[in-house]
Structure 1
Amino acid sequence: MRAFIKKYNTLHNQIFLLFSLVSVISISAVTYIGYNKFSSVYNDVVQAQLEQTSVELNSTIDAKYTQVSMIASQVSTDEDIQNAMYQMLGNPEMAGLQKQTFKRTLNSYYPYVDSILDYRFYALDGTGLFPTSQELNLIIDDASIQKALDAEGQLIWVGQDTKSYRYSYAIKVIRLMNHSYENSGFLVLKLANDFFDTRFGDRDNFIQIFDNSGRFLTGQNSSKLLFSDDGEISISGEPFYVVKSVSTRTEWTIYVAQSMVSYNQEIQKIRLFLVGIAMIGVVLGFLLSWIIASYITSPLKRLIEAMRKGPKRQLLHIEETNSSIEMYTLHHTYNQFITDIERLIEEVYEKQLHQQQAELKALQSQINPHFLYNTLNTFYWKLIDDGKDELAEYVLSMSALFKYSVSSSTTATDVVKLHEELDQIEHYLNLMKMRLDERLSWSIQCEPELKDVQIPKLILQPFIENAIIHGIEPKRTKGIININIQSNGPKRLSIIIEDNGKGIPAAMLEKLNKGTDISTGIHHIGIHNIRMRLAIHYSVNVADSLCFSSDEVRGTKVSLVLPKGEIEG
């Protein structure tokens, strides 16, 4: 498993997986939110349609009730009915004489509402007048009778027939219009409840109507009465959405039930459609993620291939791409890096070549140094035997100086301690004093803690030699050389060499400070060689600290700053 991860754990695959994950999460979130939003909107639409249907059904039922109420008003105000009720007012026994009047009059009203099965007339005391003498309180309760009296001619709904739930009664008082609207009796209507029944929508949808007393009046599924507020319910395991409304005219409660089976089927279709769209989106997201990952990583792949296909020990430049600022910067930086490496390789190669050439020249210049040492020692002891001690000391200084100079080509290191370099300068100055005598004097000042600092061998002696040969010797006045070595901060030391000899011309001084190698004869030591040795021995650019200042009257000053730490041999 670890090997598999290591093999495929590439930047391309990481970007692909990241973009794919983001696309899957985004598409899933959008699908989920869209589905919930659509379901909510669809549910609101169904609910609104159902509420609208409830309002329309309520209006229809109110219209039917108004129709019955109008028929009752027309019957109660019919002129023949008014006269008959007036004649029977206080004389119920005359009802038999008025039967033909009631029949003839009612026959003209039956066709208007065929659901009104019977019109019944009663005296104020409840005695039956037509078509039967049955007492009113046997079919109508006293509370409804009182409501009819208080309603002053308005039709009052009584409710279901106690003998059959299929029928209901309504009652109103008959008022005599030509006799100061005096109450003369009651008109009772017997109606078939299915007159108010209605259907809507699919066969699975239904309504139920309950009168103002909460008794079932009409509707479908009477075996499963709906006593529920608005919302979803389950009937025999089937989901329904119920809307409840109350008529302001009749105070009846109407329940409208909408089957949710078809609704759920539509939602399921929408769910499948959204899932299909989401799957297509995921596939497109994967494809787009792969394209984006390839577009981003292709410049990096070209960079890697360029690094892998480069010849051995050779780095290749690559073409800089403009696909993005980041990739352009990466390629440009890589090319600059290759350029810097090539330059450093060339510099190291040149340093090694110069060092090899210097070592070869040193080897070529060795002409049996032991023979020369022995010869000088023979001169020294001969001079001692002859009592020429001063001359013997000069020979000893020359022997030590020669041995110190030649040994740099035969040892494995070209680094000495500062005090060793200063000792050899002292030997050299002693030899030069033999020739210049009183015309040469010098002083060497060095802080004690700096004497063990390592420096390149013979790095100072050329400046002393140039000061004598090109500065002091051409003048006839007394020459002075001052060497001052002191700390320059915690990590550096400063070396200053001054003389009062003949100064350096301005043109030559400018070339020396620029690092140009100038030769003025066989005694001149090239400053360029000193700069090269400093560059070889120190990792930092110490050669730039070498500075010359000169005046043709007051003399020359050479300053150099070196690190105190270890240097390369």
Structure 2
Amino acid sequence: MCFSLFFDMIIGELRFRKDFQYENTLFLRSWILKTSTLIIFSTLVTMLIMFLIIGSSLYRHLSAYILEQSTKYTDSIAEQVQQRLNSTLSEIDSNIQQLCNDIQIQNILYRSQNNNVLSSEDQMTLRQKVMETLNYTDAVQQIEIYTAASPHQIYPFAQKSIFDFLTKTELDLIDEQNGKIVWLSNTKQENSYIRAGKRLLLSDYQFVHGGYLVMLLRPDFLEFFQEDFQQFSNSAVFLKDTTGNLIYFSSNNPEISIDTVTSKSYRFVTSTSAYTNWELTICIPLDLLNQDLPWLNQTLLATFGMGATLSLFFCLLIARMISAPIRDMKKAMYISNGKLQKNLKVYWNSDMNELNLHYNQLVDKNNELIQEVFEKEIMKTKAEIEALQSQVNPHFIINALESVYWCLIKKGDLENSQIMLSLARLFRYILKANDWISIQEELDFIDEYLQIEKFRFGQKLQWSYDVEPSLKTMLIPKLFIHPLIENSVKHAVEATSTTIRIHLLIRQKQSDVEIVVSDNGMGISQDVLDQILLSFQDDKPVGSVSQSYGLANLYKRIHLYFGETSSLSVESCPDYPGTRIRVQIKQ
């Protein structure tokens, strides 16, 4: 028993928790589907989507613009440095060219062609001219001059060989340039000397080969690179000659070397000097170029946060403006004493006031309708009883017609008995409860109708059918084709004494069904035809032109059952006998 009690307690606890969870689920769902919650949620989602689209596009374009401007700036700095290097080297070349073109220097070089030993006066002149050039050219540290034949040094007076300063390949390159200065890197020494060589041509002596001039530039000649790139922290710059040998490397961070500079973390700006063909490369850290992007991110996030806060505030305000009147109308909708109550409050929201006004009008109308329905309920019951009684009369007529039919059969009057039988069948067809029948049933009814009319007109009335077999089972509204046949009987058979043939054509025409009733009568006069067409107008009720025109009723039924794309047309002309009525309906 204790076990059973414990089991019942567990089952009760589980049911309680299940009911509690179900109630919480209903509460959460009702809270989510509230107007205010939906407005706030949809606005925040819209803000988020707009921020993702606009913010990402704006960030992408602005970051690309910032990076482009940073790139242009670094490229311009690199171009300025390259131009400064070229300008300095060009100035050195100009000063050296002035030294080489000096008439005293050329005379000394010419005399040294035959006499390797220079006089003390020539030595003093050489020294004076070289020192003047060094004074005007701060970047040059040392100048040496060699003779043309078996090149040996004539200044300074150390009697060294030119091959102590140049290699055979470099000397051949200088000879190949024939008077142009050749800039050479220094790969043999540990310092940062830059060398240059020039073949001397004696312009006053028919440009004969007068010797060689070589020079060394100062080690601090390229230190202006550091000055120009001091604003870029952790940047580096290096210079290479045409063979790829490193001429100069410098960085404003001692921990950075040429081996640690990689393309993953640096942007390389490379330019080639048109003067020396040397390659100048500047390495700028990528995080330095993108240093404004975090600020852009913070700005966009701050803008989104402010926009979301303002949107949330206005959403709450708008939601309250909408939900408060709805709550009031909801309270007023509770039925009291069998009637709805008006909401008499006025709101400063014009749309809600208009909605409340229509609601109050609806309440008044609804209360009136409730009163009318209550008063007419008894009348409705009485009318139903009377309607049931009235249905007995048509059946009584059918039974009476059948009784007459059997009486005529007994008397041997077969012709009149057949008429009574057809008339009874017509009444039975009309009293059918179905509103939609097959085309075959409609044809049977038309045949009974024409048999009765044939009793009246005799052989004057002839008719024929041309119906596609596949369409005989198609459903149409009851008494849909009969008004077309009746119109031909009225306007063709009654109006002439000649034989009239009525032809009914029903066929499939593409995706439509076409029903055509034609006769060979005298046609319809223009005045009557105009009245028929006038009755087709939508603003004219059925029977407003003539109670005998069932075509107007049929025209409106066609549009009602088969849509506005279906049509009914009448073709008739008294001068050309015959009338054709065409009905085209969409399946």
- Residue 339 of structure 2 is matched in structure 1 by 314
Q: Take 1:33 and 1:204, find their aligned partners in 2: how far apart are those partners?
A: 31
Return the offset for 1:173: 1.1
Which AA in structure 2 matches 1:275? Answer: L
Which AA in structure 2 matches 1:181? Answer: F
Written as runs of structure 1 = structure 2, the 5 A alignment for 1:279-290 is: 279-290=305-316
Q: Take 1:181 and 1:146, find their aligned partners in 2: how far apart are those partners?
A: 19
- Are residues 90 and 293 of structure 1, via their aligned partners in 2, closer, same or farther at CA, if it must alter by over 3 Å? farther
Return the offset for 1:85: 0.4
For residues 506-551 of structure 1, the C-alpha deviation after alignment (integer angstroms, 9 at most, x for no partner) is xxxxxxxxxxxxxxxxxxxxxxxxxxxxxxxxxxxxxxxxxxxxxx
- Residue 245 of structure 2 is matched in structure 1 by 215
Are 1:490 and 2:432 counterparts? yes
- Are residues 344 and 261 of structure 1, via their aligned partners in 2, closer, same or farther at CA, if it must alter by over 3 Å? closer
Return the offset for 1:48: 0.4
Q: Take 2:175 and 2:186, find their aligned partners in 1: how far apart are those partners?
A: 20
Q: Take 1:444 and 1:271, find their aligned partners in 2: how far apart are those partners?
A: 89
- Residue 30 of structure 2 is matched in structure 1 by 7
Return the offset for 1:33: 2.6
Q: Take 1:338 and 1:206, find their aligned partners in 2: how far apart are those partners?
A: 85
Are 1:224 and 2:257 counterparts? yes
Written as runs of structure 1 = structure 2, the 5 A alignment for 1:138-157 is: 138-157=164-183
Q: Take 2:331 and 2:234, find their aligned partners in 1: how far apart are those partners?
A: 72
Are 1:43 and 2:72 counterparts? no
Q: Take 1:272 and 1:416, find their aligned partners in 2: how far apart are those partners?
A: 82
- Residue 138 of structure 2 is matched in structure 1 by 114
Candidates 79, 96, 104, aligned match of 1:80: 104
Which AA in structure 2 matches 1:224? Answer: S
Return the offset for 1:82: 1.1
- Structure with bigger gyration radius: 1
Are 1:162 and 2:195 counterparts? no
- Are residues 280 and 85 of structure 1, via their aligned partners in 2, closer, same or farther at CA, if it must alter by over 3 Å? same
8 Å CA contact 2:268, 2:283 repeated in 1:
yes
Return the offset for 1:10: 1.2
TM-score (norm 2): 0.56
Q: Take 2:308 and 2:85, find their aligned partners in 1: how far apart are those partners?
A: 54
Return the offset for 1:21: 0.8
- Residue 270 of structure 1 is matched in structure 2 by 296
8 Å CA contact 2:145, 2:154 repeated in 1:
yes
Return the offset for 1:337: 4.3
Match of 1:245, SS state, is strand
Candidates 107, 128, 153, aligned match of 1:128: 153
Match of 1:208, SS state, is strand
- Are residues 416 and 72 of structure 1, via their aligned partners in 2, closer, same or farther at CA, if it must alter by over 3 Å? closer
8 Å CA contact 1:418, 1:450 repeated in 2:
no
Are 1:344 and 2:369 counterparts? yes
8 Å CA contact 2:96, 2:133 repeated in 1:
no
- Residue 196 of structure 1 is matched in structure 2 by 222
Match of 2:257, SS state, is coil
8 Å CA contact 1:28, 1:278 repeated in 2:
no
Name structure 1 gaps, 5 residues minimum.
359-412, 423-442, 452-483, 494-569
For residues 360-400 of structure 1, the C-alpha deviation after alignment (integer angstroms, 9 at most, x for no partner) is xxxxxxxxxxxxxxxxxxxxxxxxxxxxxxxxxxxxxxxxx
Are 1:34 and 2:58 counterparts? yes
Which AA in structure 1 matches 2:338? Answer: R
For residues 295-354 of structure 1, the C-alpha deviation after alignment (integer angstroms, 9 at most, x for no partner) is 44454334323213x6332213457989677x6886566455434432332223324677
Q: Take 2:26 and 2:316, find their aligned partners in 1: how far apart are those partners?
A: 23
8 Å CA contact 2:198, 2:213 repeated in 1:
yes
8 Å CA contact 2:143, 2:213 repeated in 1:
yes
Q: Take 2:197 and 2:171, find their aligned partners in 1: how far apart are those partners?
A: 8
Written as runs of structure 1 = structure 2, the 5 A alignment for 1:48-87 is: 48-87=72-111
Q: Take 1:449 and 1:307, find their aligned partners in 2: how far apart are those partners?
A: 58
For residues 397-423 of structure 1, the C-alpha deviation after alignment (integer angstroms, 9 at most, x for no partner) is xxxxxxxxxxxxxxxx9679659977x
8 Å CA contact 1:318, 1:335 repeated in 2:
yes
Match of 1:241, SS state, is strand
8 Å CA contact 1:303, 1:318 repeated in 2:
yes
- Are residues 294 and 450 of structure 1, via their aligned partners in 2, closer, same or farther at CA, if it must alter by over 3 Å? farther
Match of 1:220, SS state, is strand
8 Å CA contact 2:269, 2:282 repeated in 1:
yes
- Are residues 348 and 137 of structure 1, via their aligned partners in 2, closer, same or farther at CA, if it must alter by over 3 Å? same
- Are residues 450 and 419 of structure 1, via their aligned partners in 2, closer, same or farther at CA, if it must alter by over 3 Å? farther
8 Å CA contact 1:157, 1:171 repeated in 2:
yes
- Are residues 489 and 419 of structure 1, via their aligned partners in 2, closer, same or farther at CA, if it must alter by over 3 Å? closer
Q: Take 1:269 and 1:91, find their aligned partners in 2: how far apart are those partners?
A: 75
For residues 36-88 of structure 1, the C-alpha deviation after alignment (integer angstroms, 9 at most, x for no partner) is 32221111111100000011001100011011111211111122211110110
Candidates 235, 246, 269, aligned match of 1:205: 235
Higher relative contact order (CA 8 A, sep 6+): 1
- Are residues 63 and 88 of structure 1, via their aligned partners in 2, closer, same or farther at CA, if it must alter by over 3 Å? same
Return the offset for 1:243: 0.8
Name structure 2 gaps, 5 residues minimum.
1-23, 403-425, 436-587
% identity of equivalent residues: 16
Return the offset for 1:286: 1.8
Return the offset for 1:171: 0.6
- Are residues 108 and 286 of structure 1, via their aligned partners in 2, closer, same or farther at CA, if it must alter by over 3 Å? same
Q: How much is the aligned-residue C-alpha RMSD, in angstroms? A: 3.9
Are 1:446 and 2:470 counterparts? no
Match of 2:134, SS state, is coil
Aligned residue pairs total: 377
Which AA in structure 1 matches 2:245? Answer: R
For residues 252-290 of structure 1, the C-alpha deviation after alignment (integer angstroms, 9 at most, x for no partner) is 111122244554443223322322222111112222333
- Are residues 31 and 421 of structure 1, via their aligned partners in 2, closer, same or farther at CA, if it must alter by over 3 Å? closer
Candidates 211, 215, 236, aligned match of 1:185: 211
For residues 2-54 of structure 1, the C-alpha deviation after alignment (integer angstroms, 9 at most, x for no partner) is 13323302122112211111112212433333223222111111110000001
Match of 1:164, SS state, is coil
- Residue 487 of structure 2 is matched in structure 1 by none
Return the offset for 1:213: 2.5
